[in-house]
Structure 1
Amino acid sequence: DALGRAFTQEIREIGVEYRTAPVAGGLPTARCIVLITPDAQRTMNTFLGASTELHPADVDEALVRDAFVTYLEGYLWDRPEAKEAFVHAAELAHAHGRKVALTLSDPFCVERHRESFLELVDGHIDVLFANEHEIMHLYKAATFDEAKAAVRGKCEIAVLTRSEKGAHILAGDREVHVPAAPVERVVDTTGAGDLFAAGFLFGLARGKSLEECGRIAAIAAAEVISHIGPRPETPLSTLI
């Protein structure tokens, strides 16, 4: 449909290799209304549309094989077929010696799928992204420190964000605290977690230290919350 064509064109124009073939008929392209309050927090009314129709057959093995990391989005965990596709992608990645990352996405998403997420984190995930509310919901922890203790050792790296308090990166016995990058004025927090994950994985794929991965992630997140909209307005390569 028109939105799908627009998305495909725009994502390719910024240099992303996008191979997903259009679907003939069925549900329309996903869309989302984002409401931003004066304190820059956002709430979303989302229609996932065709995104919910993800099946194992849609997973491009060559793409997974060639990627340093396959990034899984918790929002798409609602359908049984999508769960199968997630596990299939993770198994393919590991079979080719690649890494698998997961973002928990949202506390409500965690509440709906806690047991499945716990199983996924324990058995298939190398890099976990979560904010403090999501990780506390996942482990039913009363405090952030309790949640940190619960997730430690469950995956290779756990990246836990705390807004203006920065982020904690857990890897084995190590814990790295990354301060939030300074922002003159927070305008819109939409996309903050996505850009943080993107920056972190960018550094990880290039062999950077955990400290440097966190620094890049914090800069990327700071850029996107300084203006309206979830896409960077300043090329991130000029900031890092």
Structure 2
Amino acid sequence: MSARALVVGDVMTDIIVRPEGPIVPGSDRRASIRQRPGGSGANQAVWLGAAGADVTFAARVGAGDLEAHAAYFRSMGVSPVLAGDADLPSGVLVTILDPNGERSFLTDRGANLNLSPQDLPDSLLDGIGLLMVSGYSFFVRGPRLAVQRLLGTARERGVAIAIDPASIGFLAEVGPALFRKWVSSADWLFANEGEAELLAGEADFDMQMRQLGQQFTHVVIKRGQFGAVLGGRDGIVHSRSAPLVEAVDTTGAGDAFAAGFVAALLRGEGHEACLAAGVEGGARAVQFVGGQPR
């Protein structure tokens, strides 16, 4: 496998709101409000860059923001291939944090909604060992068709494919059967507990592995503070607990996990070491506000 990764996904600006107490309808509540770069695909790409991986990131942003976004990604060790949208602004995500660091989201995907086949030429796959696609790209027809075409080319070329379902809310909206049909076969699935249960239709981890392993060669289930498990059609193969850390903000933790895992995979490390690297990345990410490394 080539040690280069291509990530396709959203670019967002995260507005992170931490109220001092319960929100009061029709009145004020003091809060800490911070702005950070975000987007599931962007997070994964930047965390991969931070891990020393050779990574290219393809996405669509508002035309007025293109140069600023490109400069930012380059500064984070990522090679950006960004298309500028003249009609829609770059995406924005409002994250509301509760006292336990759990999140609720309000999403305006903006220019991400117009990702097109022209934004994802086959040449992006030249020299690529692994293509990583955020599930957000499947939930709207235009980006879905663009990504499906690129995935088809990747399969023809023997490029490994990794899928991150990305959103339990959108998954539930379209239904697991349709999402799995859209994605088709892939080498890797990185799902959190809720996504894995919904996609598999099973509550038991081992049964989830066996069920999802019929479609995905390797299945990784991210369990947050409880670590992660890895397996496939024969059930769970490896399990890794997470270190005890203070969770300040869980935004991007799953992306950091996937990036840590993939970076180790691209270095040629074994699956157990990859799982440990993923858990380490996720644990690091929850200790500060924002979805990308500082």
Same fold by TM (over 0.5)? yes
RMSD of the alignment, in Å? Answer: 1.7
Question: Which of residues 110, 116, 120 is equivalent to 2:178?
Answer: 116
- Could you say which residue in structure 2 is the equivalent of 1:8? 70
Go from structure 1 to structure 2 and tell me whether the alpha carbon gap of 1:120 and 1:78 turns closer, same or farther (over 3 Å shift): closer
Question: Which of residues 210, 223, 244 is equivalent to 1:162?
Answer: 223
Using the TM superposition, give the Cα deviation of residue 144 of structure 1 relative to its aligned residue in structure 2, in angstroms.
3.4
The residue type paired with residue 115 of structure 1 is A
Alignment of 1:72-221 (within 5 A): 72-113=133-174, 114-121=176-183, 123-171=184-232, 173=234, 175-183=237-245, 185-221=246-282
Go from structure 1 to structure 2 and tell me whether the alpha carbon gap of 1:203 and 1:171 turns closer, same or farther (over 3 Å shift): farther
CA distance in 1 between counterparts of 2:103 and 2:71 reads 27
Structure 2, unmatched stretches of 5+, are 1-62
Answer yes or no: is the 8 Å Cα contact 1:65–1:98 preserved in 2: no
- Could you say which residue in structure 2 is the equivalent of 1:20? 82
Answer yes or no: is the 8 Å Cα contact 2:260–2:274 preserved in 1: yes
Structure 1, unmatched stretches of 5+, are 234-240
SS at match of 1:20: strand
Answer yes or no: is the 8 Å Cα contact 1:53–1:82 preserved in 2: yes
Answer yes or no: is the 8 Å Cα contact 1:65–1:96 preserved in 2: no
Task: Identify the range of structure 1 (137-146 vs 187-196) with the bigger mean alpha-carbon deviation.
Answer: 137-146
Using the TM superposition, give the Cα deviation of residue 221 of structure 1 relative to its aligned residue in structure 2, in angstroms.
0.9
Does 1 or 2 have the higher relative contact order (CA < 8 Å, sep 6+)?
2
Q: Deviations over 1:8-54 (max 9, x none)?
A: 2211111210022323x211111111111110111121110010111
Using the TM superposition, give the Cα deviation of residue 124 of structure 1 relative to its aligned residue in structure 2, in angstroms.
2.9
CA distance in 2 between counterparts of 1:163 and 1:226 reads 13
CA distance in 1 between counterparts of 2:93 and 2:212 reads 31
Which structure dedicates a bigger proportion of its chain to helix?
A: 1
The residue type paired with residue 144 of structure 2 is K
CA distance in 1 between counterparts of 2:211 and 2:233 reads 13
Answer yes or no: is the 8 Å Cα contact 1:56–1:86 preserved in 2: yes
Using the TM superposition, give the Cα deviation of residue 62 of structure 1 relative to its aligned residue in structure 2, in angstroms.
1.8
TM-score normalised by structure 1 residue count:
0.89
CA distance in 1 between counterparts of 2:206 and 2:170 reads 22
SS at match of 1:168: strand
CA distance in 2 between counterparts of 1:120 and 1:88 reads 11
Which structure dedicates a bigger proportion of its chain to strand?
A: 2
Using the TM superposition, give the Cα deviation of residue 118 of structure 1 relative to its aligned residue in structure 2, in angstroms.
1.8
Using the TM superposition, give the Cα deviation of residue 2 of structure 1 relative to its aligned residue in structure 2, in angstroms.
4.6
The residue type paired with residue 201 of structure 2 is K
SS at match of 2:79: coil
Total equivalences in the alignment: 230
Answer yes or no: is the 8 Å Cα contact 1:90–1:124 preserved in 2: no
SS at match of 2:265: helix
- Overall identity of the aligned pairs, in %: 27
